[in-house]
Structure 1
């Protein structure tokens, strides 16, 4: 009997030791090399946040992404630094509570704003806003970023003479099967598209339909796919709207366009980020500027959106926000307030409730939540 109890205890202890935990990764606009410009926290199921690690000596790690295996963090670094834009890699070890710089490569643009990693973990893609370009780097087995494999630059703009004189690629998002890459281009009012062949030395392959046109002066910014893989959603910064697309084999067909703000607001839109709950029932979109909130939408079975409310982010300029993988929590990063605010999500109504928990971090610009 005692022997059986000992075995049971050992099994339970082993389970606890290897149970996955939620980690929150924060990036920032920070030129102070003595300050931690990347920070990592553990998020437990009660909404408590515990500091785990931080990194100094990194300039403006404005946007982060985590490798598929959770071992590496990749960042847009030296953002908004003339002749110095880069992408950097870090190794994360939750057991040692460490985040260690590995290496960096040129992003081929002085203002890298978005970085994605292919599901294979072998390729990194980043978008450069100012120059309007996309770059592709191989990832080595040790997590380091290899030298440049491809770079495409675009010159075409759109109709707004102040903000659209040329291309401004604002995000790079893989399709659900990771066989295409979509790039919302704020400057050109296009969602650019390439096929992605992970087995080629130059994986970006031109397609017959190289882009989808958005409405003029829409300013497409970020993009996400529905968990059912049938629909795509693009948030439009300049227009303050979300456009809904049917998706199939690299092709987007628009079926709806809906405002991210009340009808009473008619100008100065600064819509920013967009995400869908893991159950596919709700979409969340952030508004900066006058609003500083999260717009909440229900999603019908046909992919169409219906606005059901707004939630203040209790700060200024929510540039990026993130949902945990179970959809229990949402964290909004308020750049101008230097706060990352934690919300509890109601899975039935989709609405958000402030928990009272927050992280203070100067110029916090990005948040990612991963179960590792």
Structure 2
């Protein structure tokens, strides 16, 4: 008996050391805001401090940039990359001091396509990928100092869709990496498809067209943005033109449609689905709908099937675009472009309900938000 107790006394501390404790979400963030800088727009990229325990904000500063309508942040939080949505598309690199919230321009590179509307970076910070609404997608290598090299690969989209005005040719709208980053999935709004290709960060070209898989969506849907569930088993897609959400099961580069829902009320026409995100625990999904709807929709997620159950729709300021969910699951922060506001919502973790807070940020034409730990 004494030997058993002795064995347990030795083993239990070892087991305790082996257990991984979940790191708590930060209490303080930097909220980075991008948007349009035309006559009705702002100066460029603006940074606020965001306090996750209260939802309060404080202005830190801004830097000039041309139409930085989409942003991505390096995994270590030290660099910000901004797409410039212009006819001669480009991506700019900035160093970022997460303590002070200050940005400094490093360099920029052309995206080999017009109007880049989405930009993302892989987890090893090897490449930034820009999706051009003009129909191409470019891979930009990231140097050790955070600067960008010239495009190492450019992919030209192919095909068209059913919409007579919006789908006369390809419009690549976003790229999402699979959770293991072995695959790159990119949504083509103009050709009604998701293309799935193998991805190797250290290889040139990084995105392999060999053995690519194409997942077609309902004609006229216009796929826009995607997000994987936290467990990586499901992928959710918001369709801009059709105003619908598709839910897929996912495994090793293959998608299987399990659900599709209409975002709008039966009497509404003129859908304009914009963005889609899940809470960190994967229990709730939210999507923004523009057009004349101007709303956020909330859904419950079935953890086994991945299917969605509609919960509630919430009115928003005009033209809700991109939004972020604070990593602790406490707040949802929304950019409303034509409302010239960044609206903050408190999330009820029990039922997913949203409550608008009374401390919206007034800012011209915001379109994209990123949260970076300030701790």
TM score, norm. by length of structure 1: 0.90
Q: Does 1:213 align with 2:216?
A: yes
Picking from 227, 232, 235, the partner of 1:229 is: 232
Contact 1:114 1:126 in 2 (8 A): yes
Structure 1 residues 210 and 359, CA, compared in 2 at 3 Å: closer, same or farther?
same
Contact 2:98 2:373 in 1 (8 A): no
Within 1, Cα distance between the matches of 2:294 and 2:152? 39
- Cross-structure match for 2:252: 249
Within 2, Cα distance between the matches of 1:184 and 1:289? 21
Within 1, Cα distance between the matches of 2:168 and 2:41? 37
- Cross-structure match for 2:8: none
Within 2, Cα distance between the matches of 1:92 and 1:41? 13
Within 2, Cα distance between the matches of 1:97 and 1:249? 38
Contact 1:134 1:153 in 2 (8 A): yes
- Cross-structure match for 2:58: 50
Using the TM superposition, give the Cα deviation of residue 142 of structure 1 relative to its aligned residue in structure 2, in angstroms: 0.8
SS in structure 2 at match of 1:103:
strand
Using the TM superposition, give the Cα deviation of residue 97 of structure 1 relative to its aligned residue in structure 2, in angstroms: 3.6
Aligned pair count reads 347
- Cross-structure match for 1:153: 156
- Cross-structure match for 2:189: 186
Picking from 262, 267, 288, the partner of 2:265 is: 262
| 1:140-167 Cα shifts (integer Å, max 9, x gaps) | 1111111110001123101222111100
Q: Does 1:175 align with 2:178?
A: yes
| 1:209-235 Cα shifts (integer Å, max 9, x gaps) | 431101111111100000010000000
Picking from 162, 165, 168, the partner of 1:165 is: 168
Using the TM superposition, give the Cα deviation of residue 297 of structure 1 relative to its aligned residue in structure 2, in angstroms: 0.2
- The equivalences for 1:1-372 within 5 A come to 21-31=28-38, 36-44=43-51, 45-56=53-64, 58-77=65-84, 79=85, 81-82=86-87, 84-129=88-133, 131-265=134-268, 267-301=269-303, 302-313=305-316, 315-372=317-374
Structure 1 residues 34 and 306, CA, compared in 2 at 3 Å: closer, same or farther?
closer
Q: Structure 2 regions of 5+ residues with no counterpart? A: 1-25
* Backbone CA RMSD of aligned residues: 1.6
Query: Which stretches of structure 1, 4 residues or more, deviate above 6 A after TM superposition?
Result: none
Using the TM superposition, give the Cα deviation of residue 65 of structure 1 relative to its aligned residue in structure 2, in angstroms: 1.1
| 1:256-306 Cα shifts (integer Å, max 9, x gaps) | 1011122232x2001110000000000000001111110000001210000
Within 1, Cα distance between the matches of 2:145 and 2:208? 26
Q: Structure 1 regions of 5+ residues with no counterpart? A: 1-18
Using the TM superposition, give the Cα deviation of residue 308 of structure 1 relative to its aligned residue in structure 2, in angstroms: 0.3
Which has the larger displacement, 272-281 or 356-365? Answer: 356-365
SS in structure 1 at match of 2:165:
coil
SS in structure 2 at match of 1:92:
strand
Which has the larger displacement, 235-244 or 24-33? Answer: 24-33
SS in structure 1 at match of 2:75:
coil
Within 1, Cα distance between the matches of 2:49 and 2:356? 18
Structure 1 residues 155 and 96, CA, compared in 2 at 3 Å: closer, same or farther?
same
TM score, norm. by length of structure 2: 0.90
Using the TM superposition, give the Cα deviation of residue 33 of structure 1 relative to its aligned residue in structure 2, in angstroms: 12
Using the TM superposition, give the Cα deviation of residue 254 of structure 1 relative to its aligned residue in structure 2, in angstroms: 0.5
Contact 1:209 1:251 in 2 (8 A): no
SS in structure 2 at match of 1:278:
coil
Using the TM superposition, give the Cα deviation of residue 31 of structure 1 relative to its aligned residue in structure 2, in angstroms: 3.6
Within 2, Cα distance between the matches of 1:142 and 1:332? 31
Within 2, Cα distance between the matches of 1:244 and 1:218? 14
SS in structure 1 at match of 2:211:
coil
Using the TM superposition, give the Cα deviation of residue 208 of structure 1 relative to its aligned residue in structure 2, in angstroms: 2.3
